[in-house]
Structure 1
Amino acid sequence: MKKIFRLERLFISQYLKQLIEYKGDFLVGLFGFLLEQGLNILMIAIIFTKIPDLKGWSLQQVIFIYGFSLIPKGLDHLFFDNLWAVGQRLVRKGDFDKYMTRPINPLVYVLIETFQVDAIGEIFVGILLLASSWGSIHWGLLKILLFIIVIPFSTAIYTSLKIALSSLAFWMKQSGSLLYVFYQINDFAKYPVTIYNNGVKFLISFIIPFAFTAYYPAKYFLTNESPLFNIGTVILISIMLLCGSLWIWNKGISAYESSGS
């Protein structure tokens, strides 16, 4: 574990050196993200100028759910975004060979190799939105502890789904498009699940459980309802998904054939 953290520091250091060389790309990407989130929040605000609440949810509560959703997504983006490369090009081009020839677990190497510093903007916006709606929650020591505990498990849901879907490239050679389609469903998790029909609610709760990265834990903090379900299920689902995704990854590694003519 100590070796992994040391390698992580080295990779982050190298990435920051690259960033200094290409500051323009970083700034453009950061501006684009901030603009996108700003427009989304503006749209929510416009909706609430026309209606007093959204299926019983106030503007502050919706903003809290939205902000909460950005934290685990941003952490996954910050540390584990290299999984996209596995699904998009590394397996197809045979570049995954380098991960198989190094004295470190291939998955660990993939996870720590890239540090996406532009995700800091995502996390920053999430923190700002949570801070702006902080007053809508009666905080206590238990809630603060559960908040700290649930964030890494929510992040693990994102990472586990990316591991599983990127692993399909070991058989399909390229799974980036599939990963992209599945990943876009996370946008539904930025809003209260109760505003959707039963089909969408079931999809994002129990098939592709992005709702457990934001809505359900946020619901507990906002309403104090069902901590065993809204918090406990996040932990259970994240563990199950992680175990399943690691099993798929290991099966994929054994099927990896490199590139050839």
Structure 2
Amino acid sequence: MLIPRRNIWQQSIYLMGLYGQYLKIYLKTLVEYRSDTLIAVGAGILAQGSTLLFLTVIFQRIPKLADWSFYEMIFIFGLAATGKALNQTLFNAPFSLTGYIRRGLMDVMMVRPVGVLFQTIGLSQELNGVGQLVTGVVIMVYSAAHLDMSWTVWTFLYCMVALFSSAIIQFAILLTISVLTFWVQEIRSLIYPVNWLYDFTRYPLEIFHPILRVLLTYVIPYALGSFFPAAFLLRPEQYSWAAWGVPAVAAIVMALAYWLWSFGIRKYSSVAG
């Protein structure tokens, strides 16, 4: 059977439709396993709620933290949490790559007329991300309602772009590490600690040591997908560069990760070999 020839627009529409089918399967899974879905939502509420309780206790003793008020801190936390949940829900593929290789599923993907990376993304939605996604959005809305923020159509669109950029930055960083599994049998022991570093960016970078700030901004740029877009929405005159810097960094790190992925997939040898 010959693969139909498509131009770039036709291919884009085809892939969006195909990914829609993956999401439909994911939504059916949420409905089918209602108990698991409710537990995931409850776990997300508890996880985020515990952090909110911690921040509430801290701000009962101090008026500001590194010149950020309580509701500003909550907004930063909410945007970072939503970005991470979006990544878990839609782009959890790096955590699944090793399993796909060991089970031989990678070999099956490589003979299909769709890119392997696209398939791994489509098959790797994470149930636990749903609860955190819901609570993250609620936290953002709640904190924004208590802040003097000017919401326009462009501000709302930037917020959407920032959240998607956050998910892409996280995905690209973890994909870069997971590609090593083409040469090393077990890499998840490195993926998880790097993933946990993102939690630092749920707070203002000023409260951390300069070395950690440099690490999270220039080496593993998680802060470009969490703290800085939130800071731009809160203080646009001070962080104006984040308007273009956040999506630009997302595009750059994704391009680098995809280049490394393409190199790795060419070096991949079948488990049957």
TM over 0.5: yes
What is the alpha-carbon distance in structure 2 between the residues aligned to residue 120 and residue 19 of structure 1?
9
**2:179: which partner in 1?**
167
User: Is 1:47 matched up with 2:51?
Assistant: no
* Residues 137 and 221, structure 1, Cα contact 8 Å, conserved in 2: no
> Does 1:106 find its partner at 2:116?
yes
Given candidates 192, 195, 199, the residue that maps to 1:183 is 195
Take 2:210 and 2:51, find their aligned partners in 1: how far apart are those partners? 24
Are the equivalent residues in 2 in contact too, given 1:82–1:110 (CA < 8 A)?
A: yes
1:32 pairs with one of 43, 64, 77: 43
Counterpart in 2 of 1:3? 14
Alignment coverage as a number of residue pairs = 260
Corresponding residue to 2:250 among 238, 247, 251: 238
C-alpha distance in 1 between matches for 2:206 and 2:103: 43
Q: Are 1:97 and 2:102 matched, yes or no? A: no
Q: Tell me which residue corresponds to 1:85.
A: 96
Matched, 1:68 2:79: yes
C-alpha separation in 2, matches of 1:71 and 1:150: 10
Match of 2:26 in 1: 15
Stretch deviating more after TM superposition (220-229 or 54-63): 220-229
Matching of residue 217 in structure 1 with residue 212 in structure 2: no
- Structure 2 partner of 1:58: 69
For the residues of structure 1 that align with 2:142 and 2:151, how far apart are their CA atoms?
Answer: 18
Q: Write the letter of the residue equivalent to 1:64.
A: F
Q: Which runs of 5+ in 1 are unaligned?
A: none
Which residue identity is paired with 1:72?
G
CA contact (8 A) 1:11 1:112 kept: yes
CA distance, structure 1, for counterparts of residue 40 and residue 82 of structure 2: 18
User: Normalising by the residue count of structure 2, what TM-score does the alignment of the two structures yield?
Assistant: 0.88
8 Å CA contact retained: 2:232, 2:240: no
Deviates more, 1:225-234 or 1:215-224: 225-234
Alpha-carbon distance between aligned partners in 2 of 1:67 and 1:138, rounded to the nearest angstrom: 15
* 1:156 is aligned to 2:168: yes
The one-letter amino acid of 1:92's match is: R
Structure 1 residues 194 and 128: alpha-carbon distance in aligned structure 2, compared to 1, 3 A threshold: same
How big is each residue's C-alpha offset from its partner over 1:123-182, in whole Å with a ceiling of 9 and x where there is no partner?
221211111121314314343343233332222111211221221111112222211111
Superposition RMSD in Å: 1.9
Identify if the C-alpha distance between structure 1 residues 132 and 19 changes in structure 2 by more than 3 Å, giving closer, same or farther.
closer
Is the 1:92–1:174 contact (alpha carbons within 8 Å) kept by the matching residues of 2?
no
Structure 2: distance between partners of 1:126 and 1:170: 34
Cα offset for 1:227?
Answer: 4.3
Q: What residue identity is the alignment partner of 2:22?
A: F
Give the Cα separation in 2 of the matches to 1:183 and 1:39. 20
Q: CA deviation at 1:28?
A: 2.4
Deviations 1:102-121 (A, max 9, x none): 11111111112233354232
- Give, in whole Å, the separation in 1 of the partners of 2:225 and 2:169: 7
Task: Give 1:131's aligned residue.
Answer: 141
